[in-house]
Amino acid sequence: MSARTFERRVKNFLRYFKALLGLIFDIIRNRKLLWQMTKRDFRQRYLGSYLGILWAFIQPTITILIFWFVFEVGFKSMPVDNFPFILWLICGMFPWFFFSESVQSASTSILESAFLVKKIVFRVEILPIVKIASALVVHIFFVAVLFLMFALYGYSASIYNLQIIYYFFAMMCLALGISWLTSALTVFLRDVGQFVAMMMQFGFWATPIFWSLKMVPEEYRGIFEINPVYYFVEGYRQSFIYHEWFWEHGALTLQYWLITLTVMFIGAICFKKLRPHFADVL
């Protein structure tokens, strides 16, 4: 590689990195607009139904009740690491619910708000974030349910539980990076939305949510640990069950943020390059 080529690539990297920082600062400056749009999206999603926004909580609640009945009453599942299986399970399922809902809904956010995209002064980058923030509202409710279920089983709150705030942030960064990429591509390739839904189904079973990574031979565990979703699924279990801090797993944390920042960087670049053409296609 020549010195001129290297210099050009460094300049391009710095230019895109500056653009990414610009997007983040724009989000911070427009936080009031973001909050107003999140509330509006949350209301409109269930507008016209008799139970309204309660549907946001009813379906996941029923899913958890079904799992509890099947595994605790029906199969009488054995404890995992001396913890009731249902508690171990929902520690992995709740963050997955949030991540899956965030990515799938944010992937179609540009299409759903085409009328806003055509406004020159509107920051289109906010649209995927609105969907992620809307999903976060529901997720916070289920974190409260998580605390309640642990209390019902006789487990008290711990200082380790506080680090789920860190995992909130980690999940949102990964979801945002993916959503910037998929939402931009969906404008031009409508099949991307179906592909995302298919990948979410695959990711659910490829991530140790229903099963423990200890079932996999040690020499193959690194393959599954590359999956960034494993990081915060296991992080919730570390916060509520194993009582371990995230910095105790330094290599896994570093790997997660390298992957996540790379995804955010690629997503921001693609979004920036495709954004000028959104209005023409829509």
Q: How confident is the model at residue 268 (pLDDT cuts 50, 70, 90)?
A: confident
- Convert the pLDDT of each residue in 136-163 to its tens digit: 888 888 898 889 889 988 888 889 999 9
Question: How far apart, in whole angstroms, are the C-alpha atoms of residue 99 and residue 172?
Answer: 8
Q: How confident is the model at residue 65 (pLDDT cuts 50, 70, 90)?
A: confident
* pLDDT at res. 168: 92
Residue 6: is its pLDDT beyond 70?
no
* Closest by Cα among 55, 90, 267 to 172: 267
Percent of the chain scoring above 90 in pLDDT: 23
Coil vs helix vs strand at 113: coil
Residue 88: is its pLDDT beyond 70?
yes
- Convert the pLDDT of each residue in 193-223 to its tens digit: 888 988 998 888 888 888 888 888 888 888 8
> In Å, how far from its chain's centre is CA 55?
20
In the block, which residue shows the tokens 């991307």?
Answer: 192
Q: How confident is the model at residue 100 (pLDDT cuts 50, 70, 90)?
A: very high
Of 53-57, 94-98, 176-180, 239-243, the range with the lowest mean pLDDT is 53-57
Q: Where are the domains of the chain?
A: 78-281
Average pLDDT of 109-119? 75
Residue 1: is its pLDDT beyond 60?
no
